């Protein structure tokens, strides 16, 4: 069953991803959409049209898929830490300050909006969840961006040469790290159930553990990996072992495995040449198998109940508008006060509005920790898809307008 599931997932991701590319979207949107199509909302109905009954993706059969998706998330978070914490601040102090403003305002507005919205809908959408935890979680879900998807969209649209890209990448890194930090705190509060004595004891244990982890990584793991730089047959098993141990340790401390993998990646990033070796060895396996499974796994958990369609559509529209407006306006404001033009600031706002992967990971963790219900999860997955899907067309339009303005100005200068 697992092999058939995997085959269908890879095939569906390829087909739907290519279809999305044809209409100007990123492949990752197609991967998530493929998961929704294979999920309980649509797949049984599609199969019944051909008089074929199947339980291929029944919830009871997804245990192995979920485990593989979790492995994909762990390796992806390690990859993000390894790729974007190696000291490349993309240059100048001005860009770093601009990135900080974009990240802070781009998170603050949607976080406040998410907290207020969560507070207003708590009684109806999440009565079984602690109000404070739910509010913080909803704020985090609306505040995050998705760095890997941002990078993929920039590459697909051939925008790497634009001056706005370095601060956007840095702002996305800051946003991702902050989002993981807030989510980790949310997990801690959920674990201790709000008891102050337990909370302080817990935080003390976590602090001591993180300090010890830092010492072992810096004083033992990093020197060993540097020593075996030219022996990949020894180096890579050691790296994978440390990633998995880091992920397990974080999960044991209720910080979630992805946080541990991100921490491992950020600390091993100082090793010269490791990021290049890692990408050369792992990129194909990750991007063509593990990541499609991760994206599809998120979609497979999405169940849209058509008996409540009108009400849920209203929630989807409301959260989509809130997510788009607060994130876009926050990042745009941060870019404007940093000196960027309105068009450049709008492009930055559109890029930072890319939720895709990161929000799906956040939502999956929230569902796993019982911070949100299945209904909220399904609503927010659709919101993440819709908001992320707005990024490529907005960027194409703004970039086209920018190019036209440059051409017109050049013609005017020639005529003059």
Residue 58 main-chain phi, psi, to 5 deg? -65, 150
Confidence of residue 76 (pLDDT cuts 50, 70, 90): confident
What's the token pair of residue 222? 């990093």
320 vs 63: CA distance, rounded Å: 30
- What does the pLDDT read at residue 355? 82
Q: Judge residue 128's burial from the number of C-beta atoms within 10 Å of its C-beta, 0-12 exposed, 13-18 middle, 19 or more buried.
A: exposed
pLDDT band at 189 (very low <50, low <70, confident <90, very high): confident
- Cβ atoms within 10 Å, residue 317: 12
**Measured in Å, how far apart are the chain's first and last C-alpha atoms?**
71
| Least confident range of 36-45, 374-383, 404-413 | 404-413
Task: Compute the distance between CA of residue 254 and CA of residue 230 in angstroms, rounded to an integer.
Answer: 36
Distance between CA atoms of residues 153 and 351, nearest Å: 8
Are 362 and 258 within 8 A, CB to CB?
no
CA-CA distances (angstroms) from residue 32 to 38, 40, 157, 217?
A: 10, 14, 20, 35
What's the CA gap between 293 and 13, in Å, rounded?
9
**Residue from 359, 375, 366, 368 nearest 323 by CA:** 359
Identify whether the C-beta of residue 399 lies closer than 8 Å to the C-beta of residue 347: yes
Cβ-based burial of 114 (10 A; exposed 0-12, middle 13-18, buried ≥19):
buried
Tell me the average pLDDT across 139-164. Answer: 81
- 287: exposed, middle or buried (C-beta count within 10 Å: 0-12, 13-18, 19+)? middle
Residue 333, token pair as written in the block: 């404001």
Residues 119 and 135 sit within 8 Å (Cβ to Cβ): yes
Alpha carbons 298 and 363: distance in angstroms, whole number? 9
**pTM beyond 0.85, yes or no:** no
List, for residues 353-393, the tens digit of each pLDDT value.
988 767 877 887 888 778 888 888 888 888 988 898 898 88
């Amino acid at each position: 069953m697992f092999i058939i599931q995997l085959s269908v997932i890879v095939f569906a991701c390829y087909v739907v991803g290519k279809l999305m590319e044809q209409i100007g979207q990123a492949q990752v949107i197609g991967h998530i959409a493929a998961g929704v199509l294979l999920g309980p909302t649509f797949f049984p109905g599609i199969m019944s049209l051909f008089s074929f009954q199947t339980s291929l993706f029944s919830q009871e059969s997804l245990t192995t898929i979920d485990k593989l998706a979790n492995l994909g998330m762990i390796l992806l978070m390690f990859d993000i830490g390894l790729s974007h914490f190696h000291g490349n601040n993309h240059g100048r102090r001005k860009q770093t300050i601009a990135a900080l403003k974009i990240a802070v305002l781009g998170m603050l507005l949607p976080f406040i909006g998410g907290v207020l919205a969560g507070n207003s809908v708590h009684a109806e959408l999440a009565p079984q969840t602690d109000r404070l935890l739910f509010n913080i979680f909803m704020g985090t879900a609306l505040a995050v961006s998705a760095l890997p998807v941002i990078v993929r969209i920039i590459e697909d649209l051939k925008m790497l040469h634009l001056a706005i890209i370095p601060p956007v990448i840095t702002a996305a890194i800051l946003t991702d790290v902050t989002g993981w930090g807030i989510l980790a705190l949310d997990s801690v509060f959920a674990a201790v159930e709000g008891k102050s004595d337990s909370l302080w004891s817990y935080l003390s244990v976590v602090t001591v553990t993180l300090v010890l982890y830092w010492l072992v990584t810096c004083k033992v793991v990093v020197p060993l990996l540097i020593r075996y730089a030219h022996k990949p047959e020894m180096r890579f098993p050691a790296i994978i072992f440390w990633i998995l141990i880091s992920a397990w340790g974080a999960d044991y401390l209720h910080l979630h495995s992805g946080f541990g993998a991100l921490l491992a990646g950020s600390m091993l990033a100082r090793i010269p040449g490791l990021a290049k070796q890692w990408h050369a060895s792992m990129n194909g396996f990750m991007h063509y198998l593990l990541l499609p499974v991760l994206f599809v796994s998120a979609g497979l958990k999405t169940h849209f109940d058509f008996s409540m369609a009108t009400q849920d559509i209203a929630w989807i529209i409301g959260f989509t508008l809130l997510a788009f407006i607060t994130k876009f306006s926050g990042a745009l404001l941060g870019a404007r006060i940093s000196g960027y033009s309105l068009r450049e600031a709008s492009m930055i706002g559109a890029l930072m509005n890319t939720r895709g992967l990161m929000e799906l990971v956040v939502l999956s963790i929230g569902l796993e920790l019982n911070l949100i219900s299945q209904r909220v999860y399904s609503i927010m997955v659709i919101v993440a898809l819709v908001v992320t899907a707005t990024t490529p067309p907005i960027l194409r339009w703004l970039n086209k307008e920018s190019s036209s303005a440059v051409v017109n100005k050049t013609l005017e200068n020639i005529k003059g």
